[in-house]
Structure 1
């Protein structure tokens, strides 16, 4: 993944976007390289098409993935997963959904306002009560879409 990231990130950034997340997954027996891009104005289809062409050309030249795969370029979406500290910092004060491995307050899913974080914990405001969640207990944190 590091080689893929090192190849793709400069292409995305030179095109005027942020590389939000990169993943290589197997679904239904097929391999997918998913490149999530973002910028302050949001992402439209033309942005994805532009980045797809550039990334596809670079991947063909470098030949880092030997087996057949599908390349997908996408926006992280309104209910985007927050993957790292940079994402957590950007969305402080936003409503989030958190999926947990073990029960907290009798639940494995919590919704609240992202209040803070450090190396070990993420803090949310849950109905006027601050709750500190150990990162090892967190499966995913995503924005709660406001419709």
Structure 2
């Protein structure tokens, strides 16, 4: 099974439990680092998630993985919060982040730039507007390579 299929299978497996318990699935990573494979599941909820909740989710996910075995071979399971610079993977994540500081990269230059760090002013599903300094940049959502919340010092 390829990485995308594994992520899809894991999402289908854990989403009902997470939704029933008030958690949001932020991201899933199944990646190789050195000689080891890691399955990382990033979960959040309104007000943040604590270590005891991560343990509870990890135990549930571990049971499901043992039962359904979507991954062949050994791997390390990690369940955690996405952190303060959480990725904005879905349009709803971007929408919820209006007014917050973000870091956006694009596949190709927009206004001569490929990186935008500033305040997310607007998002209409097609374009997002980021204020960098005193200038506003309108970025087509289709050109966004990655987006995350940002702490700007």
| TM-based fold match above 0.5 | yes
Q: Please give the root-mean-square deviation of Cα atoms over the aligned residues, in Å.
A: 1.9
- In the alignment, which of 40, 43, 48 is matched to residue 42 of structure 1? 48
SS in 2 for 1:83: coil
| Contact 2:106–2:145 (8 Å) recurs in 1 | yes
SS in 2 for 1:96: strand
Q: What is aligned with 2:11? A: 5
Gapped regions of structure 1 (runs ≥ 5) = none
Matched ranges for 1:81-100 at <5 A: 81-100=87-106
SS in 2 for 1:132: strand
Gapped regions of structure 2 (runs ≥ 5) = 1-6
Offset of residue 104 of structure 1: 4.3
Per mean C-alpha deviation after superposition, the further-off stretch among 43-52 and 100-109 is 100-109
- Separation in structure 2 between the aligned mates of residue 13 and residue 60 of structure 1, nearest angstrom: 21
Q: Does 1:23 align with 2:29?
A: yes
Structure 2 vs 1, CA of residues 146 and 48 (structure 1 numbering), >3 Å: closer, same or farther?
A: farther
| Contact 1:15–1:51 (8 Å) recurs in 2 | no
- Separation in structure 1 between the aligned mates of residue 91 and residue 113 of structure 2, nearest angstrom: 24
| Contact 2:129–2:136 (8 Å) recurs in 1 | yes
- In the alignment, which of 15, 32, 57 is matched to residue 63 of structure 2? 57
SS in 1 for 2:94: helix
| Contact 2:111–2:137 (8 Å) recurs in 1 | no
* TM-score normalized with structure 1 length: 0.87
Q: What is aligned with 1:14? A: 20
* TM-score normalized with structure 2 length: 0.84
Q: What is aligned with 1:135? A: 141
